[in-house]
Structure 1
Amino acid sequence: MDETLKLKKATYHLYTFTISKMISSFGAQVYAFAISFYILQLTGSATSFAANLICNLLPRTLVSPFAGYMADKYSRKKIVIFAQVATTLAIGGLLVVSVTSGLSLVAIYTTTCILSITSTFSGVTFTSSITGLVDEKRIQKAMSLNQMSMSFAAIGSPAVGGLLYGAVSMPVFLMVYMVASSIAIILESTMNFNLFSKRKVEEDGAPKETMWQSMKAGLGYLKLQQIIMIMIWISLIINFLFGAFEVGYSYILIEKLKMNSQHFGFTQGSFAVGMLLMSIYFSVRKEVKYPFLVSKRGILALGVIMGSISVPLIITMSYNVMFAYYLVIMFTFGSMIIVVNTPLQVLMQKQIDDDYKGRVFSILETMAMGLMPLGMIIYGFLYDVLPGQWVLVASAALLIAVVLILARPSVVRKAHPELASKGTVSRETGTAV
């Protein structure tokens, strides 16, 4: 294909990819919101609600390695379309059940499991396909637009979910979701997942790897990629230590500081707005020159912000000042998450071989999914037995220490050899001077 036509097709992919991801993210979050409401209204049981969360989390953790294997061995376009079709059929099945016999917990849990599996296959495969869909110069733009679509969904889904749940019946709501999912299928079917792909073509008669051999090969590949391994370890430790924020933020603001529920919602919205605006900024600016270094600085800033959440527990503030303080803190927190994520994702997209992307990203997702619940359980216990401010401060200090050790100046120079040749990385701080 002519290079100009390829670039035009890549531009088309940027928009279809963004719209498709926005539809699927929006649909999934609105569905989760409405179904959570429905379960609580139907049963009034926190256990039933938690069971639905487990039905979302557990299948995702279990099937992620298989999704990575499939993404590396089979047509990524077919996997994405099949996953979206399965999503549409699952919602259709729930619609039939709701019309014929009324929704039951078994039907809801079954649908949640199916949607968790399909979203895992779609998510891992789409992430693995970025470098095949767009040219190398616009990978950052693609990752930023992906983050932007998720931020839009995070901001709008509670409002849309609440509006639809109150205004229409559950069957109508499910039909709207089915239509949206069908539009996503049509968009995905027009995309060329191999436009810039560098995947190796298997020769006829070559010995076939078993799935187990393929997964072992993925782990073997990772062990040889020092910078990628360090990035993965940093990502996993962040996910674990963020349990301090996930558990502590709501606990501190609602239980300790007695913040009004509406004001608490505004602070959560400020977080999503920070993510959205920073995603827009990254989508229009030129590509970050030293992504590993930028992400390192961003993580250090996240550590400082996480520790700052505890300040109103240490220093007395008036209610209005406290509310304004948390609006600013959460906006900055959301912005910094994009500053960390986008450059790291771009670096991983460029450094991981196309034939291993599915397995690498699925390993990362599996480990992260396993660590998040563990972090929440441990921090739930810690907040019950220790003062909340010291849990946050200690976790923030640990996060900063881990990053300073793992992303030390020598590692930064390996990630960006051009910095070492210029002599622009300080040995003490690992920052450009």
Structure 2
Amino acid sequence: MKLNKNIWILLIGEFIAGFGLWLGIIGDLEFMQDKIPSDFLKSLILVAGIFAGILCGPLAGKLTDQYSKKTILLYSGAARLISVSFMFLAIYTGSVWWMVVFLISINMTAAFYFPALQAAIPLVVDKKDLLQLNGLHTNISTLSRILGTAAAGFFLTIMSLTTLYVLAFSAYFILFVLTWFLQMDESKALTECLDEGAPSKQSFYEVFPVIKQQPLVLMTLVLSLVPILFIGGFNLVIIALSEIQQNPSLKGWLYVAEGISFMLGAYFVKKLPTKSPYTVLLAFSLLIGLSQLILYFTTIPFISIVAFIVFGFSVGSFFPTAATIFQTQVPSEYHGRFFSFRGMFDDFIYQLILLATGFLLDTVGFHHMTVLFGALSLLTTFSLLMTFRRTGKESVSA
């Protein structure tokens, strides 16, 4: 793998894309803070961009399966550069509407880019190395998030908002250039797609019978709800914890603890002795549920740090394993449509969990919410464990 040029391009590209993305996100928040006094209106604007990406999902998945993954990556990369130009117009004119155009367009390009990226990973590495590559990919994504947010906060103290977006634009341009050097053998996947039927007659919805025919894939999708229960309201939980302990600096420690343990989990998951990827998912899903229950005792200062370390390590192990299952169990001719559906599914659930977290914090309080989410996570895990044993899928390997 170390000598595989395509792997390095994808990993470096993921870091650059993530770094530029988080520079832009912090820039968006800074612009809205200056221009929009209403928090509710800010949330509506952010949701509008995410909703636009969800609407593009079916078309993005269909095109990703019909055409070269590299072509989709290049076109979406070029569109992303155009999208950033709308933010320059927003800053120049002071118009919130141009920022709305930017958010909608950048989320639409992401709806094409990320499914194509996930579908490209199995094309550049052997099947036996997929878990290791997915772990590296997850760590790079996390590292770009940590460094991107930290850098954006620092940059805003020494430079203008326009300069910040110039840096984001430069990052996206470098990614666009790197994508040109990708070399993938896509002939087999495209041939299988054409054998399935004429491109114009292929439907996004054909992916659902495929998911139904793959119990391991379906169960992994459902089990993915467990980490999302925590991640969806992640920032609200951290804010609540810092308020409960009356320690503003706790927020930084929690982010650091979760980020470092996440990367360690993604690194060590490939060293686990079990040959059943679903056993790995169930074990770490159980730990995620326990980490939520542990937060009930957050009046003890160090407990919250322990809970976030357990959660970070578990999620760092969970996501690379789930990605490997999807890439190996879903037929390659459906990868584009499947990963588009998964992106739509995740975005929709994230919004629901975010709203539910805010509602529960206001109504039942932090401690009862953690018990509710933890119990729901454990119930989901044990239910799928029983289903897993009945289907006899332990022999399936990713």
TM-score after normalising by structure 1: 0.84
Whole-angstrom distance in 1 between the partners of 2:358 and 2:89: 40
Which of 310, 316, 330 in structure 2 is aligned with 1:332?
310
Work out whether residues 151 and 273 of structure 1, in 8 Å CA contact, stay in contact via their aligned partners in 2: no
Alignment partner of 1:221: what SS? helix
Work out whether residues 90 and 99 of structure 2, in 8 Å CA contact, stay in contact via their aligned partners in 1: no
* Matched AA of 1:121: F
- Compared CA separation, residues 202 and 56, structure 1 to 2 (3 A): closer
Q: Aligned residue for 1:390?
A: 368
Which of 43, 68, 75 in structure 1 is aligned with 2:68?
75
Q: Aligned residue for 2:147?
A: 156
Q: What's the CA shift for 1:347?
A: 1.6
The alignment status of 1:223 with 2:209, answered yes or no, reads no
Q: What's the CA shift for 1:23?
A: 0.4
Alignment partner of 1:355: what SS? helix
Within 5 Å, which residues of 2 pair with 1:21-420?
A: 21-95=14-88, 98=91, 101-194=92-185, 198-201=189-192, 208-210=198-200, 213-236=202-225, 238-239=227-228, 241-242=229-230, 246=234, 249-250=237-238, 252-260=240-248, 262-282=249-269, 285=271, 289-313=275-299, 317=300, 322=301, 324-408=302-386, 410-411=388-389, 414-417=392-395
Computed over aligned residues only, the root mean square deviation of the Cα atoms, in angstroms, reads 2.7
Q: Which runs of 5+ in 2 are unaligned?
A: none
Identity %: 17
- Compared CA separation, residues 234 and 136, structure 1 to 2 (3 A): same
- Compared CA separation, residues 61 and 399, structure 1 to 2 (3 A): same
Whole-angstrom distance in 2 between the partners of 1:245 and 1:53: 15
Q: What's the CA shift for 1:208?
A: 2.3
- Compared CA separation, residues 243 and 77, structure 1 to 2 (3 A): closer
* Matched AA of 2:275: K
Q: What's the CA shift for 1:252?
A: 3.2
Q: Aligned residue for 1:424?
A: none
Q: What's the CA shift for 1:131?
A: 0.9
* Matched AA of 1:254: S
* Matched AA of 2:214: Q
Q: What's the CA shift for 1:199?
A: 4.3
Whole-angstrom distance in 2 between the partners of 1:272 and 1:391: 23
Whole-angstrom distance in 1 between the partners of 2:105 and 2:291: 37
Whole-angstrom distance in 1 between the partners of 2:381 and 2:59: 31
Cα deviations across residues 334-361 of structure 1 (Å, max 9, x unaligned)? 1110111111211221111000111122
- Compared CA separation, residues 386 and 95, structure 1 to 2 (3 A): closer
* Matched AA of 2:325: L
Q: Which runs of 5+ in 1 are unaligned?
A: 1-6, 420-433
Whole-angstrom distance in 2 between the partners of 1:244 and 1:198: 34
* Matched AA of 1:356: Y
Q: Aligned residue for 1:16?
A: 9
Range with greater deviation from structure 2 (347-356 or 88-97) = 88-97
* Matched AA of 1:189: W
Whole-angstrom distance in 1 between the partners of 2:158 and 2:237: 32
Q: What's the CA shift for 1:8?
A: 7.8
* Matched AA of 1:136: K
Whole-angstrom distance in 1 between the partners of 2:239 and 2:88: 37
Whole-angstrom distance in 2 between the partners of 1:374 and 1:394: 16
Structure number, greater radius of gyration: 1
Work out whether residues 284 and 318 of structure 2, in 8 Å CA contact, stay in contact via their aligned partners in 1: yes
Q: What's the CA shift for 1:388?
A: 2.4
- Compared CA separation, residues 178 and 331, structure 1 to 2 (3 A): same
Alignment partner of 2:293: what SS? helix
Work out whether residues 77 and 109 of structure 2, in 8 Å CA contact, stay in contact via their aligned partners in 1: yes
Q: What's the CA shift for 1:385?
A: 2.2
Q: What's the CA shift for 1:247?
A: 6.8
Range with greater deviation from structure 2 (173-182 or 244-253) = 244-253
Alignment partner of 1:310: what SS? helix
Whole-angstrom distance in 1 between the partners of 2:152 and 2:140: 17
Work out whether residues 296 and 367 of structure 2, in 8 Å CA contact, stay in contact via their aligned partners in 1: yes
Whole-angstrom distance in 1 between the partners of 2:94 and 2:17: 23
Alignment partner of 1:407: what SS? helix
Cα deviations across residues 79-124 of structure 1 (Å, max 9, x unaligned)? 10111111112213433564xx434211111111111111121101
Query: What is the total number of aligned residue pairs between the two structures?
Result: 397
Q: What's the CA shift for 1:138?
A: 1.5
- Compared CA separation, residues 295 and 68, structure 1 to 2 (3 A): same
TM-score after normalising by structure 2: 0.91
- Compared CA separation, residues 224 and 398, structure 1 to 2 (3 A): same
Work out whether residues 247 and 376 of structure 1, in 8 Å CA contact, stay in contact via their aligned partners in 2: no
Cα deviations across residues 193-243 of structure 1 (Å, max 9, x unaligned)? 326954435669x962546x522321122221122111112223553x337
* Matched AA of 2:256: G
* Matched AA of 2:258: F
Whole-angstrom distance in 1 between the partners of 2:231 and 2:387: 28
Alignment partner of 2:27: what SS? helix
